[in-house]
Amino acid sequence: MDLNMLWYLVPSVIMFVAGVYGFVTRKNMIALLISLELMLNSADLNFVIFNRFLYPGSMEGMVFTLFAIAIAAAETAIAIAIIVNIYRKLHSTEIDEVDKMKY
């Protein structure tokens, strides 16, 4: 069986949609972060796939992915720090309880 680009793109799209779905439906802030991570990783995967199949001569997509992974790690670190701060005050990581400011 010939593995063309589509076989690699489908998992990436599934990951992205799962990430969006999780971001919208999950109630736990850590789970929200995991969903975000899925979305970021699917974008990284896309870069690698396009680089490998469309532009095998260059490395631009791969390099971009390396930077994107580092940025995603920084984002997670800051988000975790803020969640820890909230946990100290509310003793909970449920997103429903973080709703004092509305409209």
Partner 1 sequence: MGYSQFGAMIPELIILGIFLVVFVADVFSRDGSAKKFLTPMTTVLFGLGTIAIWLLPSCEVSVFGGMYVNDTASMAIKAILNIGVFIVLLQSAHWVESDEVAIRKGEFYELLLVTLFGMYLMISARHFLLFVIGLEAASLPLAALVAFNKKHYESDEAAIKYILTAVFSSAILLMGLSFVYAFSGGSLYYSDIYTNIASGQMSGLLIVAMAFMIAGIGFKLSLVPFHLWTADVYQGAPTAITSYLSVISKGATAFAFFIIFVQAFGQIYPDCWEWMLYAVIIATITVGNLFAIRQKNLKRFMAFSSISQAGYIMLGAMTSSTIGLGSMMYYIFVYIVSNLGAFAVITSIENKTGKVGMDDYDGLHKTNPWLSFAMTLAMFSLAGIPPFAGFFSKFLIFTSATSTGSMPLYILVLIALINTIISLYYYLLVVKAIWINPGEAKVEAFKSNTGERAALWICVAGIVLFGLVPYIYEYCYNAALIPGLGQ
- Using CB under 8 A as the binding criterion, the count of chain residues that bind partner 1 stands at 42
How many CB atoms sit inside 10 A of residue 44's CB?
21
CA-CA distance, 93 to 96, in Å (whole number)?
Answer: 9
- Binding residue (CB under 8 A) for partner 1 from 8, 31, 34, 50: 50
- Cβ 66 to partner 1 shortest distance, Å: 10
Q: Does 47 engage in binding with partner 1 (CB under 8 A)? A: yes
- The answer for 9, left when phi > 0, alpha when psi is -120 to 50, beta otherwise, is alpha
Query: Distance from CA of residue 88 to its chain's centroid?
Result: 26
Integer-rounded Cα radius of gyration of the chain = 17
- Cβ 1 to partner 1 shortest distance, Å: 23
Give contact residues for partner 1 (rule: CB under 8 A). 16, 19, 23, 29, 32, 36, 39-40, 42-44, 46-47, 50-51, 54-55, 57-58, 60-61, 63-64, 67-68, 71, 74-75, 78-79, 81-83, 85-86, 89-90, 98, 100-103
